[in-house]
Structure 1
Amino acid sequence: MKSVITVVCAFYKRFPIARGMTTYAVLWPSASICQQFIADNNKLDFIQAARYGFFGCFVMAPMIHAWLGLTNTMFPSVTLGTAIVKALVEQTTFGPAMMSSFFFGMSLLEGNSVGAAAAELRVKFFPTFKVGVFIWTTVNIVNYSLIPAQHRIIFIGACSFVWTVFLAYIKQLQVSKQQPTI
């Protein structure tokens, strides 16, 4: 058993993106199922959970891995001031890109048309973005100032679980002419 753990740890150390992808492949469908329990669904939608797993693993984890690598290169020091700058840069650039990718991509994975995906994005983006700015600015300041670089994607993954439960809730809201109240 020890040799298996050693091999897995060595693999994740050699390929850190795989660690993030594995984390998101578990966290995102788990968050979807958690949201379904909270919504008191009578029947769990495992296809929906699989979509979340696919999207988390193959879209979000690589995006986050690339972003964290870029920000570590752009802002190598680990100070509170740098953490605040990184968080603000992220909330004005990467955050909107991730949120747009989520609503648009998940809608396409559900089989919706490009027009329907764009309509959902228009309705749900800004209310969700407002909540995200508050939450993720705080999380990112902690992440960039206190968490060692090699553990940041896992820390963000854990915070992402709660955020993804929220996203899954917003995602399941029906698109109407009015924006959802958040």
Structure 2
Amino acid sequence: MIKAFIKHVRRFPWVTNVTLYGCLFAGGDFVHQWFSQRDKMDWSHTRNVAVVAFSFHGNFNFFWMRFLERKFPGYSAGMVMKKLFLDQTTAAPLATSAFYTGVSFLEGKEDVMEDWRDKFLNTYKTGLMFWPFMQFLNFALVPPYVRTTFSGCCAFIWATFLCFSRQSGDGTAGAALEWMFPSKGDGAEQADKMKRKVLASKEASSSIEQASGQRMWWPPCR
């Protein structure tokens, strides 16, 4: 299976890498929606994410990886660090910008830069806690002909975060963690609110019953 895949990648490197990258990236949006709003999936948003992933991210990543390997060939520490530095200072902000503006454009928003202005900086900072480690492994261990596929596997996780940040987050890791692992305090607070509502309802019902009882025993007018 693995040998057949590697043979296919070597024979059709561009098609295989870009297709896998685009599918994995779009899958990130599906996962986000499945866990946050599975009863009302927005397939148009998944379609827009897939269009951006196939048309830009997959192709850009493929040719970017080829450029870096030709410019800084090999697996030596110096070459790996040069590729990593250039990747995080050039490709990372460009890819993030393309996501926010591209999806907004496909949705027909009047101001396609709104999400970018509000969330780009936080998103880029969060990316620095994830992508340098993933790309270090990519440049140091993964053969060049499957680096885009490896990036796509990482992008599956990253796209889930991006789609959450665009729809209901602010680009910070903290907001994503709160979404993934809601604190017990929040649940206790909601339970307390429900208790107060139930008690208020019971008190209102009791007041009505007392008022009805008083009317029943009120002496008739003569």
Q: Aligned residue for 1:51?
A: 48
* 2:140 equivalent to 1:145: yes
Q: Aligned residue for 1:131?
A: 126
Identity %: 26
Contact 2:88 2:132 in 1 (8 A): yes
- What 5-or-longer segments of structure 1 have no aligned partner? 1-5
| Change beyond 3 A, Cα 1:27–1:143 | same
Q: Aligned residue for 2:192?
A: none
Give the aligned residue type for 1:49: T
Q: Aligned residue for 1:85?
A: 82
Cα distance in 2 for residues equivalent to 1:23 and 1:181: 27
* TM-score under structure 2 length normalisation: 0.71
* TM-score under structure 1 length normalisation: 0.85
How far does the alpha carbon of each residue in 1:38-92 deviate from its partner, in whole angstroms, 9 at most, with x for none?
2244211111111111111111111101110110011102123322221111111
Q: Secondary structure at the match of 1:62?
A: helix
Cα distance in 1 for residues equivalent to 2:8 and 2:82: 33
Q: Aligned residue for 1:74?
A: 71
Post-superposition offset of 1:24: 2.6
Cα distance in 2 for residues equivalent to 1:144 and 1:92: 16
Post-superposition offset of 1:145: 0.4
* 2:112 equivalent to 1:120: no
Contact 2:22 2:152 in 1 (8 A): no
Cα distance in 1 for residues equivalent to 2:96 and 2:41: 25
- Give the aligned CA root-mean-square deviation in angstroms: 2.3
| Correspondent of 1:22 among 19, 23, 32 | 19
Give the aligned residue type for 1:82: M
Give the aligned residue type for 1:153: T
Cα distance in 1 for residues equivalent to 2:172 and 2:128: 16
Give the aligned residue type for 1:106: V
Cα distance in 2 for residues equivalent to 1:74 and 1:133: 23
| Change beyond 3 A, Cα 1:50–1:180 | closer
Q: Secondary structure at the match of 2:160?
A: helix
Q: Aligned residue for 1:3?
A: none
Cα distance in 2 for residues equivalent to 1:180 and 1:133: 12
Q: Aligned residue for 1:100?
A: 97
Q: Secondary structure at the match of 1:42?
A: helix
Contact 1:83 1:140 in 2 (8 A): no
| Change beyond 3 A, Cα 1:121–1:151 | same
| Correspondent of 2:166 among 154, 157, 171 | 171
**Which range is displaced more, 19-28 or 118-127?**
19-28
Instruction: Work out which of the two has the higher radius of gyration on C-alpha atoms and give 1 or 2.
Output: 2
**Which range is displaced more, 16-25 or 125-134?**
16-25
Q: Aligned residue for 2:149?
A: 154
Q: Secondary structure at the match of 1:93?
A: helix
Runs of 4 or more consecutive aligned structure 1 residues displaced over 4 Å after TM superposition: 8-12
Contact 2:26 2:156 in 1 (8 A): no
